[in-house]
Structure 1
Amino acid sequence: MRSAPARRGSPAPPTGADIPAGELFSPRVRQDFPALATAAEVYLDSAATTQKPRAVVETVREYHASATANAARGTYPWATALTQRIAGVRAHTARFVGAGDPRDIVFTSGATAALNAVALSWGLTALRDGDQILYSPRDHAANVHPWYLLRDTLARFGRRIELVPYRVTPSGHADTADIAAKLGPRTRLLTVTHLHHVFGSLTTLAGLRDRLPERVLLCYDCSQSGGHVPVDVTALGADFAVFAAHKMFAAPGVGVLYCHPRVHTDLRPFLPGGATDAHLGPEGFDNGRMPGLLEGGTPNIPGILSLGAALEVLESYGMAAIARHNAILTSRLLAGLRGIPGVDFLPGPAYGGEDRGHGIVSFTLDGISAADLGFVLAEYGFLVRTGTHCVPGGAGEAESVRVSTHIYTGLDDIDRFTDRVRALAEEFV
């Protein structure tokens, strides 16, 4: 069995049912987000991207307006100061996600790039003919398409790997019983979404991960959980974990790839270029040091700096408090929608009458398509996501309306939203 490191306790995010409403953030918090300070609309699409706090906006502006330079290139003060600041953000990110060492943190152009980095830097060379990857076809395309591309690329060179799909439970969690049944002697990677982008269900693989053989690596897509609930990659037993900075209050164009030390020696440069920490000799590349091994080229410096500012903002509010806030709103949203005729929930916390949730709820309404409902809701000032939400080919999912919250969402927003859906249901159902 795998010899996982000692795991720090990571408390389960609370549910709205056991938290007094007084623990919600004040509506005044919206003043910290310039786009919301004077907006009449209600933003309910934080699972797509979060609004940006003033500190993040100012950090990006300051980089472009003062002492702009490249990092890790020059020895003059502007450049060395940026190099030190990025090192500080890397160390801060490691602490924030529970990594043991800043060298475990790689900056990429996004969570999609981070998942592709796993496929290219690890999968291309580590996988052998007949090896298997377990995945969910109902996850975000970014956690499905890279494995299909990897399979097809390897097949062109005579290596055939198998992609083994596993089921999702009616409550939206990865089905650990199905995963356990499909684990085989050639399973090399199990990839799972930590907080599902459509279902809003949190999967930790509790009860299964400590029984996985040493050869099976765990990859977590934390794009939705990062910045929304406490995340500890050590407690999760992750070998790889990816985060999307733009869903954590930071600017777009930055992702985080966590790599456990045990996989470092198995990684190869996937984007070699300037600053790649690898050695080019007569036999080709020799593995260099992390994280520079996977960070070729000029990084998104203002984006990385914005992540540092975003982490400070998140910690000033407190991740446990943020999770409680979203849990309260989810319970209120579910209670309001459940009593509306014609509303049907996709798999997730609401399915089967549960009140447990983490800020994401997807539903349909009889008599009107999700796209049309989203358009009408926008006319009333409620900004929601509609469609199949980047699930590859829909994977059999119905198009739905997705509501997602954050600290700048209030109970008044939720109540007015459910009142509007109720009024529309009376018209269409």
Structure 2
Amino acid sequence: MFNIREIAKRAKNVSYGLVDISTEIKNRTLLKAAELIEKKRDVIEAENRKDLVAGEEKGLSKAMLDRLLLNEKRIAGMVQVLKDVASLNDPVGEVIKMWTRPNGLKIGKMRVPLGVVAIIYESRPNVTVEAGSLCIKSSNSVILKGGSEAINSNRVLVNILKEAAESEGFPSDAIQFVDTTDRSAVRELLLLDEYIDVVIPRGGEGLIRFVAENARMPVIKHYKGVCHVFVDEFADLEKAWNICFNAKVQRPGVCNAMETMLVHSKIADAFLPNMIEMFKKVKVELRGCERTISYDPDYIKPATEEDWYAEYLDLILAVRIVDSLDEAIDHINTYGSHHSDSIVTENYTNAMKFLNKVDSAAVYVNASTRFTDGNVFGLGAEMGISTDKVHVRGPMGLEDLTIPKYIIFGNGQIRE
């Protein structure tokens, strides 16, 4: 029987010594893993095909199958992630602040690893490499629990990470894999707060709520991505059409895709007819408010209250016409998930007001929400995109896997 407690205990025991592992060894481990992925590309694709076939038989959605797929481009992406993380500055041991008190004590803050990080994720096997690489570089032990739909893909990738670690002198016990499809494993993992310092769920809202409600250790949450693009009355139409089309269509099954498009009433006549035709050509289902429906009553379905909250992860889009910037901001803060939201405008005052007042992890001016991604932001990779407000918000990268520790230098001082 698979022993969850034992792997958590091994991860904890080895975690204390990881702070002593040199940056050189960590980087060599990452580059060796990149080399092995290149070498074992055919094996990875064969294991991934097993998962895809099983997923199709189970009736997984197109969005889930897309997330599960490891094609040539995504395998190359994993290789690049490993190289990118190896190239980043090592945050472990960095002194980020130092000051001297009147009594002569020198007090500072130094970055140290979190300890043992458990990541529970669905579908996307490339998360195995992203999370593993970041934890290796930040000297954290990692416990990887992927979804049952990706068990074969995840297993081969974890084996590659462990082989690279053993080859280059990084403790392989710091990379643990929950190699079971038994759902009870997640519940058991969440009870092991004596070994696990933080848990990060990545997947559907149901998984994240389950983890948040059952974990004994701190949880860094990535709730659903109900992302908006607001086309302001001062928008450049060409920019607006391109941004909205990209945000919805380029990859609809991911958390940073646009789910609701807001349009200022003063620009609706100029913007919406062409935008609707663009979406119709690629079969985007539109659900709109009454004013939106009037632009194409035969194609646009009525939006319900639930549509404004919806994360479709599909070629479905909610559309609403608003009469002001304030109304758009209020809609986003009311119905959004505080993930990623964008304004298309040439008005500086409106842009800055949107940046200041929209309560989201990533807020854009004149750009697609699809850019919210740790690698795209230059972080090398990400553990997930946190919609929390404690410890980290937005893409969680290398530095976010460390935490400040106070260090104090004295010369015999005693407190009177």
TM-score computed with the length of structure 1 as normaliser: 0.27
More strand by share: 2
**Greater RCO, 1 or 2 (C-alpha within 8 Å, sep 6+):** 1
Larger CA Rg, structure 1 vs 2: 2
